[in-house]
Amino acid sequence: MSLKLAKYTAPDFTQEIFVNAPNCKLEACPRDGVAPEQYHAMSIYPEYFKIDGKWLFAEESRMDCVAVYKDGKIQVIEFRNLYEGDLVVVGRTEKCEEGIYVYPNGFETDKPEGNDDTFAFRTGRSRETAFSKDYDILRDVLQHDRDNGKIVWVLGPAFAFDQDARSAFSALIKNGYVHAVLAGNALATHDLEGAYLGTALGQDIYTTENMPMGHYNHLDTINRARYYGSIKEFIKQENLHGGIISTLEECNVPYVLCGSIRDDGPLPPVYGDVYEGANRMRDEVRGATTVICMATMLHTIATGNMTPSYRVMPDGTVREVYFYCVDIAEFVVNKLADRGSLSAHGIVTNVQDFIVNVAKSLGLKKED
C-alpha cells in the first residue's frame, strides 16, 4: 500500500458568488500589537481574500491570527507581531459577503455522500477503537514524507522513560523519518539522564528499579550539561551515545526545547521566553507536512494551533497536512480531534508501545 495524497481543487472563481463579491475591506492597525475592530480571525482551512478584483490565497496560515495585506500578498501574522499602519482584513463573514472566503472542502475525501460537516473528524476515539488501519496509513505517510515532505515530532517526557522507545526513536532519526523535534525541558533531561546515568528520574531505564540516591540523577544531568555550557558539548565531553537527543545531535536534526515555570535547571538550550520559544516552534512547523504529537497535551495544543490543515509546496501544489495525536488519555486525543482538522487523527495508546510498533512497521531495528 502506497500513500495517495488527496487532490486539492481550488474554488472556481468564475462562479457568480465570487465575481459579484465585493473587495474585502482593509483597515490599518491603530498601534503596534493591536488589530483594528472587526478584524478577521484566521482558521486552519484555506482562505481567500478579494483585493482589487483578484482573489488572493493565504499561503502560510495559522489559526487565531489576522490577515495582513503587504507587498501584494496575504500574510498571516500574530497579534503581537502587528505594527501600526499594517493593513488588516476586517470582516466576520466567510462566504464572500465581505470579500472573504473560507474553504473547508478543497481536498478529495472519503466522506460518505451527503456528509457536509465541516468538522469531519469530530468522532470519539477510545481504547476500544481499532487502530490497525491508522498504523498502516501512518507507515505510508512516513515513507512518503521522508523524502517528499517534512516530518515534525512533538514529544512528551513519558516517551523517554523506556529503553526500547528511546532506541526505536533513535532508529527513526537515523533513517530519515525525523526532520525536527519540539519538546520541553523534561523530555531532554530524562533522555540525557538515560544516556548519562542509565536512569530516568532515578529508575533504571530498562528494569525500572530505583537506584540509590537516584532522585538526584536528573539534577546531576542538568547541572553537568550547564557546566559544559551546551547539550552538544555535554554529549561530546561525556562521550554519550544512544537515545533521542544524542542521535538528534549526531544527525544534525533541529530540536526546539521550550521551558515552563516548573522546570528544573533548565538545560542550556531551553527557551525561557515563551514568545521566543513559540517563534522557534513555528519556524519548524512552517513547511511541516506531517506532525506527530505524543504524550504532551499542552505542547500538542500549542503545535496544533500553529498548524494549518494544508501546505503550499515548493512547486505550488497544495496538499493536506497529516496531524496525529497519540496519548493514553482519551480526553487529550479527542480534544485535538475537535480542532476539526481535515487530517487530525487520534490514537489512544501508550506512546512507548506506539513508537516501537511504528519502527517495526517501517522495518527498522532498535538502536543500541
Q: Which of 109-113, 245-249, 280-284, 288-292 has the lowest mean pLDDT?
A: 109-113
* Mean pLDDT score, 87-99: 97
pLDDT surpassing 90 at residue 346 = no
Say if residues 286 and 309 touch (Cβ distance below 8 Å). Answer: no
Q: What is the pLDDT of residue 51?
A: 98
Confidence of residue 114 (pLDDT cuts 50, 70, 90): very low
Q: What is the pLDDT of residue 267?
A: 97
Say if residues 113 and 104 touch (Cβ distance below 8 Å). Answer: no
Show the domains of the chain with their CATH numbers.
16-102 (2.40.420.10), 132-361 (3.40.50.10690)
Q: What is the pLDDT of residue 29?
A: 98
Confidence of residue 339 (pLDDT cuts 50, 70, 90): low
Say if residues 38 and 92 touch (Cβ distance below 8 Å). Answer: yes
Q: Cell 523519518 identifies what position?
A: 177
* Mean pLDDT score, 31-49: 96
Q: What is the pLDDT of residue 367?
A: 63
pLDDT surpassing 80 at residue 233 = yes
The Cα–Cα gap between 76 and 65 comes to 6
pLDDT surpassing 50 at residue 117 = no
Judge residue 253's burial from the number of C-beta atoms within 10 Å of its C-beta, 0-12 exposed, 13-18 middle, 19 or more buried. middle
Confidence of residue 120 (pLDDT cuts 50, 70, 90): very low
pLDDT surpassing 70 at residue 145 = yes
Say if residues 322 and 344 touch (Cβ distance below 8 Å). Answer: no
Say if residues 205 and 161 touch (Cβ distance below 8 Å). Answer: yes
The Cα–Cα gap between 330 and 325 comes to 10
The whole-chain average pLDDT of the chain stands at 90
Q: What is the pLDDT of residues 165-216, one digit of tens each?
A: 999 999 999 999 999 999 999 999 999 999 999 998 898 888 889 998 888 9
Q: What is the pLDDT of residue 118?
A: 42
The Cα–Cα gap between 175 and 251 comes to 10
Name which residue leads in pLDDT, 115 or 175: 175
Q: What is the pLDDT of residues 298-332, one digit of tens each?
A: 899 899 989 999 999 999 999 999 999 999 988 88
113 residue type, one letter: E
ω into 30 cis (within 30 of 0) = no
The Cα–Cα gap between 101 and 93 comes to 8
Q: What is the pLDDT of residue 4?
A: 86
Q: What is the pLDDT of residue 343?
A: 58
For residue 312, the cross-strand partners are 318
Q: What is the pLDDT of residue 128?
A: 66
Q: What is the pLDDT of residue 122?
A: 40
Q: What is the pLDDT of residue 130?
A: 67
Q: What is the pLDDT of residue 112?
A: 46
